[in-house]
Amino acid sequence: MKRNTWQKEAVKHALGEATGFVSAQDLHLVLRNHGSTIGLATVYRALADLAQQGDADSLQATSGETLFRACGANHHHHLICTECGVAVEIAATEIESWANSVANQHGFKPANHTIELFGICAKCAD
């Protein structure tokens, strides 16, 4: 049976507050700074749950950490500012079909893909 705890709510909420992608460690720090007594392991578990339910997206930073972000359930990709971390959701139907056709051309059964665009957002470009 699945239980609802204030810890899971807290993580979900904190993730929603974040402007862009955040690491589990960051979220844990933020929550502690807000007075929460939540444990680090719990943050990891909650994030894993959210990601599995489709309530959060995850991506690997080049530094090795896993970053998370709240998101809608539909399939999409991200345009991320490398300065401030804001992320814009990109619905790229054209890309989906491109990915599938490329896979087929090479005799592959398409399964999955990771597409992340990085850049500098208007605000940070000043």
The footprint of its own copies (CB under 8 A) covers 60, 62, 64, 66, 79, 81-82, 88, 90, 92, 94-95, 98-99, 102-103, 106-122, 125
* CA-based torsion, 25, 80, 11, 55: positive or negative: negative
- Residue 2 site contact among DNA, its own copies, none (CB < 5 to 8 Å, cut-off depends on kind): DNA
Structure-block tokens of residue 35: 């007075």
Quick one: which segment of 12-20, 22-30, 81-89, 107-115 binds DNA (CB under 7 A)?
Answer: 22-30
Task: Count the site residues for DNA by CB under 7 A.
Answer: 24
Residue at 72: amino acid letter: G
CA distance 121 to 20: 12
CA distance 66 to 118: 16
CA distance 122 to 104: 37
Write down the least CB distance from residue 16 to DNA, Å: 17
The nearer residue to its own copies, 35 or 64, going by C-beta atoms, is 64
Residues of this chain that bind DNA (CB under 7 A): 1-8, 23-25, 37-42, 44-46, 48, 64-66
